[in-house]
Structure 1
């Protein structure tokens, strides 16, 4: 699986990038045919509390799955994104199995 990361309006630290790669790599356990995962990090409204937005777009054969979360930290946002993406991948896998 190929993992791409984009950080908009800031530079992601190496520890944050390592954290994201480790978390996103676990998505392959939910669905083996994941081709590509694109993670986008963005700071929205810098003055507010909940301002760290993370989104993950996963490409699987015949479809793209997307998830987006906003939290206090990027780690928390990515964590929640990965959790809900696992749910989406499981549903997608079931749908493919029933065809």
Structure 2
């Protein structure tokens, strides 16, 4: 899957980008028609503890799923967002199976 990662208000390291790529590649197990995704990594309000925001858009034919999570670390937020996306993709696949 093609992943476009953008970091806002900071420079993302290669290890973080690789982590995002690996986690999103696992979504192919649940829905095989994923076209691509956009990932936005943001740092908001430096004084707050949970200031890491991850927004992921996943594109599938005729649809788009958007998830936004805010946590203490980017890894934690990415895991939470991917779990949420997994549920949405499985639900979408079930809908397609029922209607077909």
TM-score by length of 2: 0.96
- Secondary structure of the structure 1 residue equivalent to 2:33: coil
Q: Does 1:4 align with 2:4?
A: yes
Moved over 6 A (4+): none
Q: Does 1:89 align with 2:92?
A: no
**Considering only aligned residues, what root-mean-square deviation do their CA atoms show, in Å?**
0.7
The aligned counterpart of 2:17 is 17
Q: Which runs of 5+ in 2 are unaligned?
A: none
**Correspondence 1:54-65 to 2 at 5 A:** 54-65=54-65
Aligned length: 99
Q: Distance in 1 between matches of 2:20 and 2:36?
A: 14
Q: Which runs of 5+ in 1 are unaligned?
A: none
